[in-house]
Copies of this chain bind each other. A is one copy, B any other.
Amino acid sequence: MFTFSEENYLKTIYHLSEHSEKGVSTNAIAKKIETKASSVTDMIKKLAEKEVLVYKKYQGVTLTKKGKKTAAMIVRKHRLWEVFLVEKLNFNWDEVHDVAEQLEHIKSQKLIDEMDALLGFPTVDPHGDLIPDKEGNLHPTKNRLLSSLEKNESGICTGVDDSSSAFLQFLDKQGIALGKQITVIEKEPFDDSITIKIDDREMAISKKIATNLYLKTDDHL
């Protein structure tokens, strides 16, 4: 079990590790956490003791596997709470962060699992940041046109290019909505039409539609 302060350090180091390969410097941590370098040194010694990071004097720190997972779970909680606040409690995306900073420290596995389910297992938060899965892994997604998917690939409908109401109404009539899973069953080179499966129904989609519909796909890196 970690204290709020320990969790904040872990999360910060996790974020700082994302965009650089080397160890994270004491000063970088101090800046992000708005504390003094000497306080950081104290804390990273304690965290090294707890084996969530590796620390060599003057060389910065690197998270261990355990540390990475612990940090990812805090980020997961933070982002799930942000989704909750926006989706269920009418918060704007720009007013959720401070509350999520508090909520991310609540300890209850059931709470976070149920929240995940209530929200429909979201993969991105209101700022577009990826939500780590239960194992702490990120699943990078790209928004791709339906027309760019190969046979047997699938994805979740995320948006449209042409947002004319005629097009949106057409999608609605076909039962194609944001969040629905679509699998490519067949691609027809003759007219570039595509057969898809949605809600266990199969249907043919014209080239025009397929080049206007965005899906997010799990690329698993």
Interface centre among A88, A89, A118 (most CB of B within 10 A): A89
Of A62-70, A109-117, A127-135, A146-154, the one contacting chain B is A109-117
Secondary structure at the A interface, as helix, strand, loop or mixed, is helix
Query: Could you mark each residue 97-124 of chain A with 1 if its beta carbon is under 8 Å from any beta carbon of chain B, else 0?
Result: 0110011001110110011001000000
A99 near B106 with CB under 8 A, answer yes
Oligomeric state, in copies = 2
A115/B89 in contact, CB under 8 A: yes
Looking at the assembled complex, report how far the CB atom of A77 sits from the nearest CB atom of chain B, in whole angstroms: 12
Contacting residues, chain B, for A13 (C-beta < 8 A): none
A71 to B45, CA, bound (A): 38
For the complex, is A24 an interface residue (Cβ under 8 Å from B)? no
Please determine whether A118 and B89 come into contact, CB atoms closer than 8 angstroms: yes
For the complex, is A167 an interface residue (Cβ under 8 Å from B)? Answer: no
Output the least CB separation between A109 and chain B (Å).
10
Inter-chain contact A91/B114, CB cutoff 8 Å: yes
Asked if A102 and B91 make an inter-chain contact with CB atoms under 8 angstroms apart, the answer reads no
A102-B106 in contact (CB<8A): yes
CA–CA, A106 to B85, complex, Å?
Answer: 13
- In the bound complex, do residue B114 and residue A89 qualify as a contact, i.e. CB atoms below 8 Å apart? yes
Minimum CB–CB distance from A35 to chain B (whole Å) comes to 18
With A89-B111, A98-B108 known, 19 other A-B pairs at CB within 8 A are A85-B111, A88-B118, A89-B110, A89-B114, A89-B115, A89-B118, A90-B114, A91-B110, A91-B114, A95-B110, A99-B106, A99-B108, A99-B110, A99-B111, A102-B106, A102-B107, A102-B108, A103-B106, A106-B106
